[in-house]
Structure 1
């Protein structure tokens, strides 16, 4: 029999603790005038929490699913249908080439730092090159997680580690209305990845690692590498069914493979090579195709110099700025070759003896 290990999760909150957590968002005295209304909302929210009403609005899965009668979250179904349409458009040779340009820094001048990031300035350099080549650019600025109201990427819950089929494509862990885990930005981000023919990630190094805003996105893209496009096949989040499905044979589909990529990593003391290698290895694993050595860049800006003058140092480093432009040029060329059928992963047709 399939063994599912349990016993880690705590019991549900009692009413008093739920009340304390619910009210944290309403400590401003200006909410005092509507305390009675908030109490009514809290009563409903607590009942939904106790009953685990994760997906309160559903629709039958319908034709094409393992269980057509399964009740799918209407939000997940809408996201999945949009990804299918975008994937078809991405494959249409009549469409313009599209590159997703990602700023992985958490800093911007609309939040506590009070100043834009150097990573964002690099995306501006890259964008100009791409647009001059006639490429549509979709800029994903992950720093908005720190400055926008109610913008969030919820953390990955690690479903793939229980069984790969339990990790649905796109992710079905969110929204979870019972836990107020809503407003997840990832559905929109999945669309940007699917629509793109090329990806460029520009990021600083935070403590030898990628910034948390970038890592949140990376973790939530695990469903793009081996994820299950049919939640009805696992009856939602049924761990036993998912384990049995994987053990019966799973093909670990790569939903974002065969897109070109480039990376720009910068730091001021250490860690740039490790982060650049980690990002490149991750993108390679997902089946993306690197745009050549010039598209994998790591450089220091103001090595052991003051943070206060780092923008000035970047201004003066014309060689680095040109290297960033070269990353964009390399990805632009790779996208053109890819769409013309002259570029592909050399190992694309090899059978993996240990797929995962």
Structure 2
């Protein structure tokens, strides 16, 4: 494929685009010095400048791993331990899939976030639950908040996709401030996940799709990057051909899905999300916890919030979805939610 490599002039011109504000003119010399350092890091492909030995628990303890990845791994392990501790309250993760908010160009909050608040209140009113909100609209409104795209390492060989993802940060390419190292522990700690999203062009929103793609490592990803000595494709392929076990790192967590649209696509997006979560071995909480509805069907967008105000049935359905998810979690933790077929092995693990 064609090389994406930039020459020094092109690299520095692109690097300096983040300093177009005239206020930076007073520190022109310092910016030039930083651009020189950034060019050296880029030209030398310094992806992970800070590393340390992997240590105990890895197949090659002496292999150098990125310090940032090791910190992310520790956070995921702590979150998993919290998930497994029955003495602690159950945790539910509410995901706001809309990119719209009043904090940037749209000028008003999203209907999706209003539905998140309805679900949150319904669950917290029950008590006994910790509720965490993952607001993906911050990708569009908060400085330095990024989810970088998946590079599809899994399609080269499953063990090349590490859990958690080791593709980022890539300091040489300036691919930093990646949010996923904070998001993975949110999923790992959760006993239940409720995703609420609008329909954007017959699909989920772009922030939600970015997160979905980067969660591929939770479904068969390799928790030991030293087994592939980083991103050695030949070693990863050899591991897969020897018989990869495809660990399901989020298996058994319960889920709820709520999709709202205005003209078309709500049912298809709901099915897409249910299929995706089920493929990762998460478990649908209940029929009431899966919902696709239209708000202000074929009505003006300018009155869509009024349409939601008037749709009391939808508001109650969203609250019921939250209650159903909470009830299922309680039963699951008490061992009273049987999962037929849970002891069967998959003939096709990929």
Instruction: Please classify the TM superposition score into its range, dividing by the shorter chain length.
Output: over 0.9
Equivalences for residues 1-356 of structure 1 within 5 A:
8-134=1-127, 135-356=129-350
TM normalised by structure 1 equals 0.97
- Cα offsets for 1:162-206 (capped at 9, x unmatched): 011000000000000000100001111101101110000000000
- Distance in 1 (CA, whole Å) between partners of 2:139 and 2:69 is 22
Distance (Å, rounded) in 1 between the aligned partners of 2:15 and 2:174: 10
Query: Could you tell me how far 1:342 is from its partner in structure 2?
Result: 1.3
**Other structure's SS at 1:309 match:** helix
Following the alignment from structure 2 to structure 1, what is the Cα–Cα distance between the partners of residues 75 and 285?
A: 28
TM-score by length of 2: 0.98
Q: Aligned pairs, how many?
A: 349
The CA distance in 2 between the partners of 1:151 and 1:104, in whole Å, is 15
Following TM superposition, the consecutive aligned residue runs of length 4 or more in structure 1 with deviations greater than 4 angstroms are none
> Structure 1, residues 302-355: CA drift from partner, whole Å, max 9, x if none?
111000000001100110110001110110001101111112432221111111
Alpha-carbon distance in 1 for matches of 2:306, 2:317? 17
Q: Against the structure 1 CA distance between its residues 202 and 227, is the aligned structure 2 distance closer, same or farther, given a 3 Å change threshold?
A: same
What value does the CA root-mean-square deviation take over the aligned residues?
0.8
**In 2: Cα distance, 1:9 partner to 1:220 partner:** 25
Residues 11, 137 of structure 1: alpha-carbon distance in 2 compared, 3 angstrom cutoff: closer
Gaps of 5+ in 2: none
1:89–1:9 distance in 2 versus 1, CA, 3 Å: farther
